[in-house]
Amino acid sequence: MIYIKTDSEIQKMIEAGKILGQCFDFLKEHIKPGISTWELDHLAEKFLKHHHCIPSFKNYEGYPGSICASVNDVLIHGIPSKDIILKEGDIISIDMGNIYHGYQADAARTYGVGEISKEAQRLIECTQKCFFEAYQQAKVGNHLSDISAKISDVASEYGYSTTKEYGGHGIGKEMHEDPFIFNYGEKGHGVILRRNMCLAIEPMIHQGSDKIRQLDDGWGVASEDGKLTCHFENTIYIDNDGPHITTIDSIVEGYLSNVER
Contact by Cβ (8 Å): 177, 188: no
Spell out where the chain has E strands.
Answer: 54-55, 67-71, 74-76, 91-100, 103-112, 161-162, 168-170, 177-181, 198-201, 204-206, 212-214, 221-223, 229-231, 234-239, 242-245
Contact by Cβ (8 Å): 67, 83: no
Which option in ligand MF3, Co ion, none does residue 177 bind, with CB closer than 5 to 8 A by kind? Answer: none
Which option in ligand MF3, Co ion, none does residue 249 bind, with CB closer than 5 to 8 A by kind? Answer: none
Contact by Cβ (8 Å): 231, 76: yes
- The residues binding ligand MF3 (CB under 6 A) are 57, 60-61, 63, 68, 77, 95, 97, 106, 200, 202, 233
Q: How many whole angstroms separate alpha carbon 212 and alpha carbon 221? A: 7
Q: How far is the CB of 98 from Co ion (least distance, A)?
A: 12
Considering only 73, 90, 106, 146, the residue that binds Co ion (CB under 5 A) is 106
- Judged by beta carbon, residue 7 or residue 61, the one nearer ligand MF3 is 61
With contacts defined by CB under 5 A, name the span among 22-30, 48-56, 138-146, 192-200 that binds Co ion. Answer: 192-200
25 exposure class (CB count in 10 Å sphere: 0-12, 13-18, 19+): middle
Which option in ligand MF3, Co ion, none does residue 97 bind, with CB closer than 5 to 8 A by kind? Answer: ligand MF3
Residue 200 in contact with Co ion, rule: CB under 5 A: yes
Residue 41 in contact with Co ion, rule: CB under 5 A: no
- Judged by beta carbon, residue 111 or residue 116, the one nearer ligand MF3 is 111
Q: Would you tell me which residues interact with Co ion (CB under 5 A)?
A: 106, 200
